Amino acid sequence: MTTDRRDLTALPDLATGAGRVGPVRTRMPVYLDLLPPCNNACPAGENIQEWLRLVKANEDEAAWRVLVAHNPFPAIHGRVCYHPCETACNRVELDGAVSIHSVERYLGDLAIERGWTFDKPSSRTGQRVLIIGAGPSGLSAAYQLARLGHDVEIRDAAEKPGGMMRWGIPEYRLPRDVLDAEIDRIVDLGVTITCNAPVKDLLEEQAAGNFAAVFVAIGAHLSKRVDIPSQDASRIVDAVSFLRDVASGERPVLGRRVAVYGGGNTAMDAARVARRLGAEESIVVYRRTKEQMPAHETERYEAEREGVRMNWLRTITSMDSDDLTVEVMELDESGKAVGTGRYEKLQADTVILALGQEADSNFLRKIPGMRFTDDIVQVDSRSLMTDVPGIFAGGDVVPSDRTVTIGVGHGKRAASRIDAYLHAREAFDRPKHDLAEFGKLHLWYFGDSRRHSQPELEPGTRVQDFDEIVGGLTEDAARTEATRCLSCGNCFECDGCLGSCPEDAVIKLGTGNRYRFDYSKCTGCGTCYEQCPVHAIDMIAEV
């Protein structure tokens, strides 16, 4: 039980110390809840600590429902999220971060296996919302709005929903049956998805459907181009189109040697896919250094394990009939890559351009008042509403990093703001608790417990097909991994305060209800504070 600091003046006999022997107490303990670093780092705003606690308690469906209150795609995110929650995890200071993503995947896969469904809203509002784009951000917003009782329709230009989850992430990372299962669950909630339906005139579409609000969540499906002098332009393909074709079932012939030009996650995916299509040599050409590479380290590492070779500080200048000409680069004093005037030859049958992506936002430019920076729509950073009332935007089309999890977080936030807009009320952000940093913890309670590894295919086996390369945890492993959570900043009823108090001033209120202090007995010695392993107790000045 948490004692609110504002109520301390109402407690009896605190100032006088009545009923105690010894000096007047000058400080007192209070229970509190801090913000776990994993929760704080999650772009989707998941209550990670709570669903880990429920997995630990063998309450898997309850854990799944806590998780999907914020993110409808646990089976997807457990596979493709770059899990910044684990980077922030305090346990990394001990014996390795909790493998949060693998427990999330366990819950997501279990929900698919057992057919768990979302709770439908108890009533309908009659308000209609149009969403443009069936990628992670659009689907997330649709899910949250449908749960609030709104009627939601999605328009998507592709033949199937999923956005870059379907067309940009290869199957060996995200099997399509998993993607379809989690999208189908949103459709079952009452969301209408219309595919092969590109929107040309948004205002006309909005008026025709009597939609009270719009959320634009188009992905970045257009590849940035660069002019490379070439005798045979057919040897150059863009990475987005290449990955999309492969995701559609095509198996293009690339030749024995493939060069991928770029250094982002899309470049890593393209290089790894090329290996699966038979390329004996798959080489990434990047004009900067490994440290400057925008791709996540794990993506680069896995690509190298599968035989992809990295060619740092090189830029392609031209293509001849049999090879490429690349210029050797070097870093100047400011760290910028500049040409040296030295050139090398590189053998390549196909060049895949992976130099970044843009959103096709041209259809929005005819709307009066809409502001842009290149392909990016400018929005209020808090509400995600554009300068046009009732039109919101998120995901790849607004200023932000472009990941599935960030897109889902945008969808959730936009849904909250759209709901407030539809009800003509102000939307307020809840104030965050203080962060439970590692230095605040007293970790006597926790012993050594090594992180579980997920099973995975050997690199030589992986490149033979598109089978999923990483497996899930068993039930026992998932539950054991959940027990590694330190419950940073939040009481988990270890009884440390109860057993350490010399005055019997700590009263246990029963499982799930935590404790309270009997301040008529408490001397302010601070033993409970010192014993609490997770800093769920603080000592404050007596009032």
Q: Given this structure, which CATH class describes domain 5-33+491-541?
A: alpha beta
Average pLDDT over residues 237-258: 94
Question: Does 19 score more than 50 pLDDT?
Answer: no
The three-point CA angle 316-318-320 to 5° equals 125
Strand partners, 331: 337
Please give the pLDDT value at position 349.
Answer: 92
Contact 153, 442 (CB under 8 A): no
Strand partners, 377: 372
Domain with CATH 3.50.50.60 in the chain: 128-221+359-422, 224-356
Please give the pLDDT value at position 305.
Answer: 96
Please give the pLDDT value at position 323.
Answer: 85
Residue predicted with more confidence, 49 or 362: 49
Average pLDDT over residues 448-470: 93
At 447, the pLDDT band (50, 70, 90 cuts) reads confident
Q: What is the DSSP string of 267-297?
A: HHHHHHHHHHTT-SEEEEE-SS-GGG--S-H
User: CA-CA-CA-CA torsion for 103, 89, 429, 214, nearest 10 degrees?
Assistant: -50
What percent of the chain stands above pLDDT 70?
96
What is the enclosing helix (H) or strand (E) of 319? Answer: strand 314-319
Please give the pLDDT value at position 12.
Answer: 39
Q: Given this structure, which CATH class describes domain 44-116+447-475?
A: mainly alpha
Question: Does 321 score more than 80 pLDDT?
Answer: no
Question: Does 540 score more than 60 pLDDT?
Answer: yes
Two tokens, residue 5: 């600091």
Contact 236, 351 (CB under 8 A): yes
Question: Does 537 score more than 50 pLDDT?
Answer: yes
Strand partners, 358: 222
Average pLDDT over residues 447-459: 90
Per-residue model confidence as pLDDT tens digits over 172-214: 999 999 999 999 999 999 999 999 999 999 999 999 999 999 9
Domain with CATH 3.30.70.20 in the chain: 5-33+491-541
Please give the pLDDT value at position 6.
Answer: 34
Residue predicted with more confidence, 428 or 274: 274
CATH topology assigned to domain 128-221+359-422: FAD/NAD(P)-binding domain (3.50.50)
Please give the pLDDT value at position 20.
Answer: 43
**Distance from first CA to last CA of the chain, Å, rounded?**
20
Cα 85–chain centre separation: 9
- Whether domain 224-356 has CATH 3.30.465.10: the reply is no
What percent of the chain stands above pLDDT 90?
81
Domain with CATH 1.10.1060.10 in the chain: 44-116+447-475
Please give the pLDDT value at position 317.
Answer: 92
Question: Does 2 score more than 60 pLDDT?
Answer: no
Q: Name the DSSP letter for residue 313.
A: S
Please give the pLDDT value at position 400.
Answer: 80
**DSSP reduced 3-state for 209:** helix
Average pLDDT over residues 342-354: 93
At 13, the pLDDT band (50, 70, 90 cuts) reads very low
Please give the pLDDT value at position 231.
Answer: 61
Mean pLDDT score across all residues of the chain:
91
At 222, the pLDDT band (50, 70, 90 cuts) reads confident
Per-residue model confidence as pLDDT tens digits over 463-475: 999 999 999 999 9
